[in-house]
Structure 1
Amino acid sequence: MDQRELASLTAELVSVPSHEDETAAGDTIEAWLRQETDADVTRDGHGNVVARRGDPSAPSLALVGHHDVVPPGEPQVDEAGEYVVEERDGRLYGRGSADMKGAVAAAMLAFRDAEVEGASRDRSGAGDAERGGTAEDGGIKLVFASFVGEEIGGVGARGAINDGFVPDYAIVAEGSTNYSKPGVTDVVIAHRGRRASTLVAHGANAHASVPEKGVNAVYRACDAVGVVRELDYPEVDVYGERVRGSIAVTEIDGGSAWNVIPDSCTVTVDERTVPGEYAPLDRAEEIEGVEWRVDQDLPPMACSDDAFADAVLDAAGDVQEGEPEHVTKPHATDAGWLAEAGTACVVCGASEPGEAHTDTESVSLAVLSRCYRIYRTTAEYGTSFAE
C-alpha cells in the first residue's frame, strides 16, 4: 500500500453522500472488499458491512468504523448537491474525511494487507519459531466492520451486536491523534458516555394575578435544577488515567402565556458518564411534582484487557517517531456498545480534536498512513497479546 492508494480510496469514500442514506457508501465499501480481498464479506439487514478472514476458530480482532456522516456544511457541497473533496497541503478536505471515512479506508487496506494466515510475529518482530510457539497459537480471525447510524446513537453497532457480533478484541478507528501531544497518534483506553435526560415538572394552572391559586411548574423545575447543580461529577480511574464526567442543564421550557401560571416545565440535562458510574439524577424526583426520564444512554468505554491495550500502544510506537500514550477521550463512540457487550476495545484513529463536524473538516494523509500501519501491525501480532 502506498499513500496514493490510501488517498484515492479515502477520496472515493468521502465523495459518496451518506448523511441521509448510507446505502451508496456501504455499496462502495462492500464492492471494494469483494474485489480486493478473498474475505467472507456480508451486508447485514441494518446496512453494516462486515468482512472476515483468517482462522475461523481463532480469537477475533475487529477493525471498526462507520460510514455515516453528519450533514455537510455549505462549503462541502457544490451547486449540484455533490460532496466537495479537495486535497491540499498533505490533507484531504471534505465531510467525513476525519469522522471517519479516512480511517475506514486505512482499516480496509490494513484488513486486506495484514498477514494473518500462518505464523504471526510477536511484539518484538520475531516469528513463531523464535517465540517457541506454533502457527495455531498465533493465529487470528481478522474482521473489518463499518457500521451505519453511529452519528444517531450507534444504531448499526447495536443492531450488529444484537445479531451476535461480539469480537474478542476491537480497534475502533475514531480520532486519537494529538491527544497527548502534537503530532502523535495515541491509544484511547477509556472514553466517556452520554446520558440525555429530561426532568418534567408538573403544576396547576391559575391566572397570574392570583398565583397562589395555582402550582407553578417553573418554580418546581428551578428547584430540580438546583438539585442537579449540587451533584458531584462522577470520576473513575482506568489504567492510571482519570476519567471525569460532567453534568449540565442545557434547555428549559415551560409556560404558555405571560398571564398564566404554568402547569408544566421541562428541563434537559446532558450528562457525560464514566465507566461504571452515573450521577444520581433520581434525586431530582425528591422535588414534589418532578419526574425524571432517560431519553438516551450512550455507554462509556474502558478497555477490559491491559495486554491488548499495551499491544496496540506498542504497535503505535513502532510506526511513528513520537511517543504515543494511553489517553482518554471525552465523548462516546461505538466502542462503548462493543465494550458493554464484552469486547476488549481501544480507540485509535487519525482525527484530531476539534476537526470532526466542522465546515472545514480534513484529515492528514500522513497520519492516515500511520493508522494503516498501526492497524496492520496489531493484526500481525496475532494473539500474542492474549497469551
Structure 2
Amino acid sequence: MSIEETLLKVEGLSEEVVEVCSQLIQRPSDHPEGRTDGCVKYIKGYFDGLGIDNQVYQRDEGKPNIVVRVKGSSGRKILWVGHNDVVPVGEPDSWKYPPFSGTVADGKVWGRGASDMKGSNASAMIAARVLSEVDCPHDMDFWFTSDEEVGGGAGARWLADEQIFEGEVAIIGDASGCDPGQVNVGIGHKGGIGSRLVAEGKTAHGSTPYLGDNAIDKLLKVIPYVKRLSEFRLEMPADLEPILESTKEYMLKDDTLDDEQRKAVERLFYYPSGPSLNIFHGGVKGNVVPEKAECSFDIRLTPGIDAMKVKERLEELVAEANVPGVTLTARAAPRVGYYEKADEPSVISLVKAVERVTGERPPLTLMPWGTDAISIKRNIKTERHPDGIPNLLFGPMLRDQLHQSNEYVTTINLVTAAKVYSVFPFYYE
C-alpha cells in the first residue's frame, strides 16, 4: 500500500483519534500514585478488539506497561515510546473543564495529560491500527509506559535496563512538532543536576527567636548564591551550535512571549536553566522557630557539556555563601541529556516524513525538557549504533501546555502526529 493510501486511512480515523485521546484522559494516572492500570486496560481492550498483538509488562503493582506489536517485512524494528502517567492536577478550581473529563471543545481535547502526553499516545494507537492494515516495511513496537514523570523506574528505565526494549531507532512521542507553521523535529534534549539544600538550626519559641537558630533564614541566605549559577556560561560542542541556533529561532516564533521571556529563550541553552526553586519545606508551627528546612532546585543543562564543571561551580557558590549548618546534595553524571547528529540517516528519514505530511520543512531542534529517551539511549545498543540507538522526538504536544492548568491538545495536531507515525516506516532505510 502506498504512502498516500496510508495517509487516507489515518484521515478516515480523524474522529477516532480524538475519542481515543478523550478516553485516555478520562482514566486518571496522576502522581503521586501514578497508577496506569486504567489506561493500559483501555489500550489492551482497544487492540484486543482489533485482533492486534499486544503484551503487558509490569514491575510495580498498578504501573503496567503495554507494547503493541506490528509486523513488517524487513525484519528490522522501530520503537515508538510514550508514557501514560501524568503530573498532579494542582488546583481543580483553576480548570475550565474538569481535569479528567477529556472534554472536546473548540478544536481541542482538554484535561490533565492532553499534551503531556495522552494526545501523543492516541496518535500512536491510530498509527498502530493503520500500520497493521497495510504492508508495513518494518516491525514496529508501540510502547505505552509508566513512571516517566518520576524517572521511569517502573517504566522505560526498567524496560531499558532489562533489555526488554528492542529496536534500531526510537521515536519518542513526548514532544512537540506538529503545530501548523511551526513544525520541527527534535534530535535531543537537556539533562539536569538534581540538587537539594538542607539547613539545620535550633528550635525556640517564636516570641524569643534569639534563643534559636532559624533554619529557614539560613536557606534564604544561601538561595541567592545558588541562583547565580545562571551566570555560568556553558561550553558547547561545535557541532551542536547550528542546532541551538535553529532551536532558538523556532522558539522565538512564539508571538505570545514578552520581552523578558524572549531574553530567557536567548539564554536557554547557553547557561544553566534556572536554577528553579520548585520545592521548599520548613517549619512546624507559626510560633516555633524552625530547626530544619530544605529546598530543591531544578537545574537543566544542554547536552554535550561537561556537567561536572557545573556541579563544581554550584558547590563553590554554596561554599561562598558561608552559612554554617547548610549542606548541598548535588547529583550529576559527567554528561547529561543527549543529541543525535544532524546527518544521522534516521533523522533525515523523519524530516522527510514530516515534510510529506505537513508540506513544511522542519528545522532540527533540542527539547528543553527530559524524556525516557535518555534511558533508551544509554541501554539499547546495536552493532550499527554501539553508543546507543538514535532517539528522535516528535509529537502533537504544545510546549506552552506542559504541566499547566487547563491543559489541552489540538485535534489537528493529533491527526498530524498519527500521520507522521504511520508514514515514518516507509521513509526509514
Indicate whether 1:18 and 2:5 are aligned. no
TM-superposed CA distance for 1:154, in Å, is 2.5
SS at 1:92 equivalent: strand
2:149 aligned residue: 151
- Aligned-partner residue type, residue 54 of structure 1: K
- Aligned-partner residue type, residue 12 of structure 1: Q
After superposition, give the CA deviation of every residue in 1:198-254 in whole Å (9 maximum; x if it has no partner). 13355788997599xx99995697358526615615353537212433242626667
CA distance in 2, matches of 1:249, 1:68: 23
Indicate whether 1:172 and 2:172 are aligned. yes
CA distance in 1, matches of 2:23, 2:184: 27
2:236 aligned residue: 236
Query: Which of 172, 185, 188 matches 1:187?
Result: 185
Indicate whether 1:300 and 2:337 are aligned. yes
CA distance in 2, matches of 1:99, 1:70: 9
Indicate whether 1:349 and 2:382 are aligned. no
Query: Which of 326, 329, 341 matches 2:367?
Result: 329
CA distance in 2, matches of 1:49, 1:218: 48
2:43 aligned residue: 29
Question: Which range moves more in the overlay, 9-18 or 302-311?
Answer: 302-311
Measured at CA, do residues 239 and 319 of structure 1 come closer, stay the same or move farther in structure 2, by a change above 3 Å?
Answer: farther
1:129 aligned residue: none
TM-superposed CA distance for 1:190, in Å, is 1.8
- The sequence identity of aligned pairs, in percent, is 24
Which of the pair is proportionally richer in helix?
2
CA distance in 2, matches of 1:338, 1:247: 26
1:127 aligned residue: none
2:247 aligned residue: none
SS at 1:323 equivalent: coil
1:248 aligned residue: 275
CA distance in 2, matches of 1:258, 1:12: 45
CA distance in 2, matches of 1:256, 1:7: 47
1:274 aligned residue: 302
Measured at CA, do residues 49 and 236 of structure 1 come closer, stay the same or move farther in structure 2, by a change above 3 Å?
Answer: farther
SS at 2:405 equivalent: coil
CA contact (8 A) 2:352 2:427 kept: no
Question: Which range moves more in the overlay, 107-116 or 186-195?
Answer: 107-116
5+ residue gaps, structure 2: 1-9, 245-268, 380-387
Measured at CA, do residues 359 and 194 of structure 1 come closer, stay the same or move farther in structure 2, by a change above 3 Å?
Answer: same
TM-superposed CA distance for 1:332, in Å, is 1.3
Query: Which of 85, 92, 98 matches 2:102?
Result: 85
Pairwise CA RMSD: 3.8
2:7 aligned residue: none
CA distance in 2, matches of 1:271, 1:259: 34
Measured at CA, do residues 119 and 264 of structure 1 come closer, stay the same or move farther in structure 2, by a change above 3 Å?
Answer: closer
Measured at CA, do residues 17 and 59 of structure 1 come closer, stay the same or move farther in structure 2, by a change above 3 Å?
Answer: same
TM-superposed CA distance for 1:93, in Å, is 2.0
Aligned residues: 357
TM-superposed CA distance for 1:197, in Å, is 0.8
- Aligned-partner residue type, residue 389 of structure 2: T
5+ residue gaps, structure 1: 121-139
Indicate whether 1:112 and 2:129 are aligned. yes
Question: Which range moves more in the overlay, 308-317 or 287-296?
Answer: 287-296
After superposition, give the CA deviation of every residue in 1:309-360 in whole Å (9 maximum; x if it has no partner). 2211111111003332111211112222222323311111111121233332
TM-superposed CA distance for 1:60, in Å, is 2.4
CA distance in 2, matches of 1:306, 1:359: 37
Q: What are the within-5 Å matches in structure 2 for residues 47-62 of structure 1?
A: 47-54=64-71, 58-62=75-79
